[in-house]
Structure 1
Amino acid sequence: MRGRVVVEEGEVQAVEACSTDSTDIVLPAFVNAHTHIGDSVAKEAAVGLSLEEAVVPPTSRKHRRLREASREELITAIRRTMAFMQETGTAVFLDFREFGTEGALALRDAANTEPVEEFIFGSDEPDVLDVADGYGASGANDSSFGEHREAAREAGKPFAIHAGEPDDTDIHPALDLDPDLLVHMVHAGADHLSRVAEQDVPIVACPRANLVLDVGKAPLRDLLDHTTVALGTDNVMLNEPSMFREMAYTARAFDVTPREVLGMATRAGAEIADLNYGVVEPGRAAKLLVLDGDSNNLAGYEDVIAAVVRRAGAADVKRTVL
Structure 2
Amino acid sequence: MILEGTILRGRDFEPIEGRVVVEAGEIEAVEEAAVDSDAIVCPAFVNAHTHIGDSIAKEAGEGLTLEELVAPPDGLKHRLLRAASTDELIAGMDRTLSFMERSGTGAFVEFREGGVEGVSAIKAALTDSSLRSVLLGRETVDAMEAADGFGASGANDDEFGAERRATRQAGKLFGIHAGEVDASDINPALDLDPDFLVHMVHATELHLDRVADSDIPIVVCPRSNLSTGVGKPPVEALTERTTVALGTDNVMLNSPSMFREMAVTEMLYDLSAREVLRMATVNGAEIAGLDCGVIEPGRPARLFTLDGDTDNLTGARNPVRALVRRAGVDDIDRVVLADA
Q: State the TM bucket, normalised to the shorter chain.
A: over 0.9
- Read off the aligned partner of 1:212 and give its amino acid letter: S
Matched with 1:302 is 317
For residues 203 and 321 of structure 1, what CA distance do their matches in structure 2 show?
28
Structure 2 runs not aligned, ≥5 long: 1-15
Matched with 1:99 is 114
TM (norm. structure 2) is: 0.94
For residues 165 and 125 of structure 1, what CA distance do their matches in structure 2 show?
22
Q: Is 1:238 the equivalent of 2:238?
A: no
Aligned-partner SS, 2:240: helix
Matched with 2:218 is 203
For residues 127 and 59 of structure 1, what CA distance do their matches in structure 2 show?
21
For residues 182 and 65 of structure 1, what CA distance do their matches in structure 2 show?
26
Q: How much does 1:130 deviate? A: 2.2
Provide Cα deviations, 1:268-288, integer angstroms capped at 9, x if missing partner.
Answer: 011011111111001110000
Q: How much does 1:306 deviate? A: 0.5
Matched with 1:282 is 297
Q: Is 1:165 the equivalent of 2:171?
A: no
The RMSD of aligned alpha carbons is: 0.7
Matched with 2:240 is 225
Matched with 2:205 is 190
Q: Is 1:27 the equivalent of 2:42?
A: yes
Matched with 1:216 is 231
Aligned-partner SS, 1:279: coil
- Read off the aligned partner of 2:177 and give its amino acid letter: H
- Read off the aligned partner of 1:128 and give its amino acid letter: A
- Read off the aligned partner of 2:299 and give its amino acid letter: R
Q: How much does 1:115 deviate? A: 1.4
Matched with 2:78 is 63
Q: Contact 1:87–1:320 (CA<8 Å) still a contact in 2? A: yes
Q: Is 1:124 the equivalent of 2:126?
A: no
For residues 166 and 104 of structure 1, what CA distance do their matches in structure 2 show?
27
Task: List structure 1 runs of 4+ shifted beyond 3 angstroms.
Answer: none
Aligned-partner SS, 1:162: strand
Matches within 5 A, 1:6-17: 6-17=21-32
For residues 126 and 69 of structure 2, what CA distance do their matches in structure 1 show?
26
Q: Is 1:80 the equivalent of 2:100?
A: no
1:180 to 178, 182, 195: 195
Matches within 5 A, 1:252-267: 252-267=267-282
- Read off the aligned partner of 2:145 and give its amino acid letter: D
Aligned-partner SS, 1:2: strand
For residues 51 and 202 of structure 2, what CA distance do their matches in structure 1 show?
21
For residues 28 and 206 of structure 1, what CA distance do their matches in structure 2 show?
20
Matched with 1:292 is 307
Q: How much does 1:221 deviate? A: 0.2
Percent identity, please: 59
Q: Contact 1:126–1:151 (CA<8 Å) still a contact in 2? A: yes
Aligned-partner SS, 1:271: helix
TM (norm. structure 1) is: 0.99
Q: Contact 1:129–1:155 (CA<8 Å) still a contact in 2? A: no
Q: Contact 1:33–1:94 (CA<8 Å) still a contact in 2? A: yes
For residues 207 and 231 of structure 1, what CA distance do their matches in structure 2 show?
8
For residues 88 and 42 of structure 1, what CA distance do their matches in structure 2 show?
21
Matched with 2:20 is 5
Provide Cα deviations, 1:30-58, integer angstroms capped at 9, x if missing partner.
Answer: 00000000010110002221101111122
For residues 132 and 102 of structure 1, what CA distance do their matches in structure 2 show?
11
1:39 to 30, 54, 72: 54
Q: How much does 1:257 deviate? A: 1.1
Matched with 2:171 is 156
For residues 102 and 124 of structure 2, what CA distance do their matches in structure 1 show?
20
Q: How much does 1:230 deviate? A: 0.4
- Read off the aligned partner of 2:58 and give its amino acid letter: K
- Read off the aligned partner of 2:194 and give its amino acid letter: P
For residues 144 and 69 of structure 2, what CA distance do their matches in structure 1 show?
27
Q: How much does 1:20 deviate? A: 0.6
Provide Cα deviations, 1:118-164, integer angstroms capped at 9, x if missing partner.
Answer: 21110111122221011000000110100000000010001100000
Q: Is 1:313 the equivalent of 2:328?
A: yes
For residues 133 and 88 of structure 2, what CA distance do their matches in structure 1 show?
19
For residues 51 and 290 of structure 2, what CA distance do their matches in structure 1 show?
20
